[in-house]
Amino acid sequence: MSGGEFKLLASGWHPSKMTSFAGKVGYTGSMKQICACLCAITLAWPAFAAPPQTSLPAAVVPDGLGVNIHFTDARPGELEMLAAAGFHWVRMDFSWGGTEKRPGEYDFSAYDRLLASLETKKLRALFILDYGNSLYEADSAVATEAGRRAFSRWAAAAAVHFNGHGILWEIWNEPNIGFWKPKPNVADYAALALAAAKAIHAAAPGEAVIGPATSGVDLQFLESCFKAGLLDWWDAVSVHPYRQSAPESAEADYQKLRGLIARYAPKGKSIPIISGEWGYSSAWQNFDAAAQGQMLARQWLVNLANQIPLSIWYDWHEDGTDPQEPEHHFGTVANAYHAGGSPVYQPKPAYLAAKTLTSVLQGFQFTKRLALGNPDDYALLFHKGDRLRLAVWTTSPTPQPVRIRSSPGEFEIINHTGERGKTILANENGLAFTPTLAPQYLIVRKSNPLLRSAPAAWPLHARLGLASDKTLAVQIENQSDASFNGTLHLTQTASLNNSAKLSIKLKPGETSQLLHVVSAPSTTSEIVAGLRLESEGAVMLELTPRRFRLLPDAMLSASRIVSDGDAKVVSQQSIAVSPAPEPFSGLSSQAVKVNYQCDEGWKFFRIVPPEGKAREIAGKPVGFGIWVYGDGRNASPRLRIVDATGQTFQPTAAAIAWAGWRYVEFDFNAPAGHWGGANDDVMHFPIRWDTLFLIDNVARQKSEGTLYLASPALIYQ
Domains and CATH numbers, the chain: 44-336 (3.20.20.80), 366-452 (2.60.40), 460-550 (2.60.40.10), 554-716 (2.60.120.260)
The three-class DSSP label of residue 68 is strand
Which one is predicted more confidently, 102 or 9? 102
pLDDT of residue 28: 45
pLDDT at 522 over 70: no
Q: How far apart are CA 555 and CA 609, in angstroms?
A: 6
- Closest Cα to residue 277, out of 170, 183, 364, 182? 170
**Residue 683 contacts residue 666 (beta carbons within 8 Å):** no
Tens digit of each residue's pLDDT (9 = 90 or more) over 142-158: 999 999 999 999 999 99
Name which of 125-129, 249-253, 299-303, 424-428 the model is least confident about: 249-253
- Closest Cα to residue 273, out of 243, 302, 245, 246? 302
Q: How far apart are CA 665 and CA 407, in angstroms?
A: 38
pLDDT at 111 over 90: yes
191 phi/psi in degrees, rounded to 5: -65, -45
Q: How confident is the model at residue 459 (pLDDT cuts 50, 70, 90)?
A: confident
Q: How far apart are CA 417 and CA 431, in angstroms?
A: 23
The three-class DSSP label of residue 128 is strand
- Closest Cα to residue 220, out of 249, 269, 184, 245? 184
pLDDT of residue 435: 97
**Residue 691 contacts residue 674 (beta carbons within 8 Å):** no
Q: How far apart are CA 552 and CA 589, in angstroms?
A: 12
Name which of 180-194, 470-484, 487-501, 634-648 the model is least confident about: 487-501
**Residue 72 contacts residue 116 (beta carbons within 8 Å):** no
Q: Which helix (H) or strand (E) holds 32?
A: helix 31-43
**Residue 61 contacts residue 365 (beta carbons within 8 Å):** yes
pLDDT at 383 over 50: yes
Name which of 233-242, 469-478, 584-593, 667-676 the model is least confident about: 584-593
Name which of 157-161, 298-302, 350-354, 492-496 the model is least confident about: 492-496
Which one is predicted more confidently, 404 or 24? 404
pLDDT of residue 13: 41
In this prediction the pTM is 0.78
- 414 to each of 349, 361, 424, how far by Cα in Å? 15, 11, 11
- Signed CA dihedral, 291, 296, 298, 302: sign only: positive
- Signed CA dihedral, 487, 488, 489, 494: sign only: negative
pLDDT at 26 over 70: no
Which one is predicted more confidently, 13 or 564? 564
pLDDT of residue 500: 67
pLDDT of residue 31: 47
Q: Over the chain, what is the mean pLDDT?
A: 89
pLDDT at 24 over 80: no
Q: Which amino acid belongs to residue 540?
A: M
Secondary structure in 3-state letters for 432-471: EECCCCCCEEEEECCCCHHHHCCCECCCEEEEEEEEECCE
Detail the DSSP E strand segments found in 297-439. Answer: 311-313, 365-369, 377-384, 387-394, 402-404, 409-415, 420-426, 431-433
